[in-house]
A and B are shown apart, each in its own frame.
Chain A
């Protein structure tokens, strides 16, 4: 219990239903002091609902929410130590920028002089002092974003909740804004909970990334953990650059599991599993190469197309049966395959990441044929 005050936010088995649709199902999350947390997932996965429950804009059907160690599950939004940035910024159209930014302080009943002074400071800090007398209709997307951020930050909340905060910006602007927001978060030490469906955002910004799907948390951890050790087939396929393989445990050799599926038979590191049980694993595209003698895992493929991105060259490969695989090679190296050519690719056993045993386990899915899923 003495850890609690250290946490900015704790969510315990949060549940939220809309009629028969379960939006959030048993989500638990701990956010330490000044952490940058990204909730990542496809649309409808429950990430925004989770955020809105934290803000107090939705009332959960079950579970607890603690902000700074204080239970707030039934508190209305105006009694929570949070601020929120909305996707379309939700600026008040009838207020000038200065009025808008000062709104939160006014609500805290701060003296007029102090509000004026703080607003001037914050407008200067966000480089929007020149816009003080403008109304939102006269602002560009980037300017609105700054105003919304200034309005949320001025009350110095414990947590800033951001719902797709740069989704409404031009693509070219996003990168700059992302860097600024990250630096700002570091400087002020407020926890950010950032909801996004864009994995580039999540992995480049988050100290802690929470991948959600179908109302549940699939996996949470550092960006490195999620990128390199996906624990479920969903995470492996959702995160770019993974190749997933499905099969059954055929036995154990040299301390490794042998998993056999439609694509072949592979050696994968992992704890003992029931022979015959369904299993899946993934391999990152950059860990695969031309088959070498040391590779226990091999697949015969034909090259469908080659995409060149400068830093990497990505081969889209088709194996017998039609499933696609991805293979990344450093862009500086000479190409070793051309479109239409056949080759054998391979990778080391330790490059395989075994996925957790699915919860609604083996027997039901045992009828499903082994197949390969390649990320889109």
Chain B
């Protein structure tokens, strides 16, 4: 049996292809974006002096600042809705569904929609949410509405409606994994120690699934923050969040402004992940 020891030359050679790939595809482009975001002057060239002008201009604009807050608020809403829904679904699948066959069937029903691309799923929402869409026609047919509801499409509500089913799986998957790790005897032990079911959940089950909740929240956070496609498809041109601003600047050939927003977006995400890691040590997940 041969083994490759950490620190041996072979280990470095094995790491080389991935390192080169990551350097070319991630590290260098990110470095360039950061660099461009500091370009001063008017010319778009590497000779530009470095300055904070781009950032100052961005932070001075109230509309942009409102957009940053709006993006964070929208993301927080999504994290809350997807988190609660995802936890409920995970709990139902792992704890309440006793038959393994049913569990598999329901889990597949839950997962299979996610095999389609996010963009296609976003587009598929349009015929549902439109003024003459499926939801409105159903509401009219049932007599629940007198006239078509217009806020579904091209609105924040519509974006939320489309994003919740997109991202609930991400919130729920890690929780399913953590819940499945908990031996049933723990729940029983707590009950024989006079804990009622709500207390068992609060004191035993939830704390043990907390790492899964946090990871799910990180996934939802990162994806919602980066999701320009759903916002553009469902929100039309009326609604924009930070990632859409990057596209708008880019299409308007304002590369430096686009770079500034991209850097800010990355910083928000890094801050979010760092905050999550302070709550739960993700690296220790397997050890529990």
Q: Using a CB–CB distance below 8 Å, which chain A residues touch chain B?
A: 55-57, 76-78, 80, 82-84, 86-88, 90-94, 103-104, 107-108, 137, 151-152, 155, 161
Which residues of chain A are within 8 angstroms of B185 by Cβ–Cβ distance? 86-88, 90
Whether A107 and B188, one on each chain, are in contact in the complex, defined by CB atoms closer than 8 angstroms, is no
Q: Output the least CB separation between B174 and chain A (Å).
A: 17
Which residues of chain A are within 8 angstroms of B192 by Cβ–Cβ distance? 55-57, 77-78, 80, 82-84, 152, 161
Q: Answer whether residue B255 sits at the interface, using C-beta atoms and an 8 A cutoff.
A: no
Whether A86 and B188, one on each chain, are in contact in the complex, defined by CB atoms closer than 8 angstroms, is yes
Residues 141-189 of B at the A interface (beta carbon under 8 Å): 183, 185-186, 188-189
Q: Answer whether residue B287 sits at the interface, using C-beta atoms and an 8 A cutoff.
A: yes
Q: Output the least CB separation between B227 and chain A (Å).
A: 34
Which residues of chain B are within 8 angstroms of A161 by Cβ–Cβ distance? 192
Whether B199 and A107, one on each chain, are in contact in the complex, defined by CB atoms closer than 8 angstroms, is yes
Given the interface pairs A86-B185, A137-B287, the reply to whether A92 lies near B190 with Cβ below 8 Å is: yes
Q: Using a CB–CB distance below 8 Å, which chain B residues touch chain A?
A: 183, 185-186, 188-196, 199, 203-204, 207-208, 287-288
Whether A78 and B183, one on each chain, are in contact in the complex, defined by CB atoms closer than 8 angstroms, is no
Which residues of chain B are within 8 angstroms of A151 by Cβ–Cβ distance? 193
Which residues of chain B are within 8 angstroms of A92 by Cβ–Cβ distance? 186, 189-190, 204, 208
Which residues of chain B are within 8 angstroms of A93 by Cβ–Cβ distance? 208, 288
Given the interface pairs A90-B183, A94-B207, A94-B208, the reply to whether A78 lies near B191 with Cβ below 8 Å is: yes
Q: Output the least CB separation between B265 and chain A (Å).
A: 35
Whether B194 and A78, one on each chain, are in contact in the complex, defined by CB atoms closer than 8 angstroms, is yes
Q: Output the least CB separation between B234 and chain A (Å).
A: 40
Whether B191 and A76, one on each chain, are in contact in the complex, defined by CB atoms closer than 8 angstroms, is yes
Q: How many A-B residue pairs have C-beta atoms within 8 angstroms? Tell me.
A: 65
Beyond A76-B196, A86-B185, 18 additional contacts (C-beta under 8 Å) are A55-B192, A76-B191, A78-B191, A78-B196, A83-B193, A86-B188, A90-B183, A90-B186, A91-B189, A92-B186, A103-B193, A103-B203, A104-B193, A104-B194, A137-B288, A152-B192, A152-B193, A155-B194
Q: Output the least CB separation between A155 and chain B (Å).
A: 7
A94's nearest neighbour on chain B, judged by CB, is B207
- Complex Cα–Cα for A103 and B204 (A): 11
B193's nearest neighbour on chain A, judged by CB, is A104
Whether B208 and A107, one on each chain, are in contact in the complex, defined by CB atoms closer than 8 angstroms, is no
Which residues of chain B are within 8 angstroms of A88 by Cβ–Cβ distance? 183, 185
Which residues of chain B are within 8 angstroms of A155 by Cβ–Cβ distance? 193-194
Which residues of chain A are within 8 angstroms of B207 by Cβ–Cβ distance? 94
Listed from nearest, the 4 A-B pairs whose CB atoms lie closest are A90-B185, A90-B189, A107-B194, A77-B191
Instruction: Give which listed residue, A57, A76, A107, contacts B193 with CB less than 8 A.
Output: A107
Which residues of chain A are within 8 angstroms of B188 by Cβ–Cβ distance? 55, 57, 77, 84, 86, 90
Which residues of chain B are within 8 angstroms of A103 by Cβ–Cβ distance? 190, 193, 195, 203
Q: Output the least CB separation between A63 and chain B (Å).
A: 20
